[in-house]
A = this chain, B = another copy of it.
């Protein structure tokens, strides 16, 4: 079994970069919206293997991407830790906030992984159904990003509640992080054993932290997760996505030991080539709005990604998740253009 996606992570540049999209199983697909309407709540979709398998495979059938990513959510770990997690239509996630050191002291240390058995089951079934040349990606949220939701109880413009907790009560905040590190290791190893060929750690909110806090709350916990996963699965392939880390990306790469980083669309190409892509593979970084815009603007934006990073190890992706209003024809246009690349 050879997978172009895994080959890039393992060190071999591909002439035509492998391609997939963050949030590729999502609302821009009519077949997803149809299933979602039947499934009930968002967590029912994640935790019913019949649904999760189908939704994971939908974008592969349409676009023949080089990787599938298991349909799930970064908040399944707090859910397995016994926290209340709800997804209300059009509102994003809602959790019971851990907004005082006293509440944090009550957080369970160990997740109930039987609650996540449906995710492992879905991984096994997707891996069995998927063409062997297509990689299957498992994932979790980075502790910092998951903690921002656990503290605030929801997403906020710059996750100020968690940043404030980390400034005012660093020991209490460290307790959340430590619990997330340990349980994320267990969860990621379980995903590899269930059939995932690679892992991605999403740190969506890394970019709101000053350097000292970034190193402590984003980089160091991620390093511990990578180390812990590799203790169980020595050749585990891991992609980090510290969104917005910008100039701190080289530090993130040097310290965490990831095989690749996903970069957002504002990255500075010369720095990324010299200080990041020289060491690990790069995944990214089309502006999701260019994909909505389509036409000549989309072609130019695709060409910029290929020109900036195509001479090195590249996995073509967006700089963030695809948005619901994206026309499917534009995704097709992007895939054609990437696969026509004469690198």
Residues on A facing B (Cβ under 8 Å): 157, 160, 163-164, 167-168, 170, 207-212, 214, 244, 246-248, 251, 265-269, 271-272, 287, 289-290, 292-293, 295, 297, 300-301, 304, 319
Query: Closest CB of chain B to A22's CB: distance in Å?
Result: 16
Q: Is the CB of B160 within 8 A of A208?
A: no
CB closest chain-B residue, reference A285 = B210
- Choice from B157, B209, B212, B289 contacting A160 with Cβ under 8 Å: B289
Give every chain B residue within 8 A of A319 (Cβ-Cβ).
210
Give every chain B residue within 8 A of A265 (Cβ-Cβ).
210
Cα separation A214 to B246 with both chains bound (whole Å): 15
| Stoichiometry, copies per complex | 2
**Cβ-closest 8 pairs across A and B:** A247-B268, A246-B246, A167-B293, A167-B297, A210-B265, A247-B271, A163-B289, A210-B287
CB closest chain-B residue, reference A265 = B210
Q: Is the CB of B266 within 8 A of A304?
A: no
With A168-B293, A293-B168 known as contacts, the answer to whether A209 contacts B163 (CB < 8 A) is: no
Q: Is the CB of B247 within 8 A of A293?
A: no
Query: Closest CB of chain B to A192's CB: distance in Å?
Result: 32
Q: Is the CB of A212 within 8 A of B304?
A: yes
Cα separation A207 to B319 with both chains bound (whole Å): 14
Give every chain B residue within 8 A of A170 (Cβ-Cβ).
297
Cα separation A248 to B212 with both chains bound (whole Å): 21
Q: Is the CB of B208 within 8 A of A266?
A: yes
Given contact pairs A210-B266, A246-B246, A248-B266, a sample of 14 additional A-B residue pairs in the complex whose CB atoms are under 8 Å apart: A163-B287, A164-B292, A167-B293, A167-B297, A168-B293, A207-B266, A210-B287, A210-B304, A212-B301, A246-B268, A247-B247, A247-B268, A248-B268, A271-B271
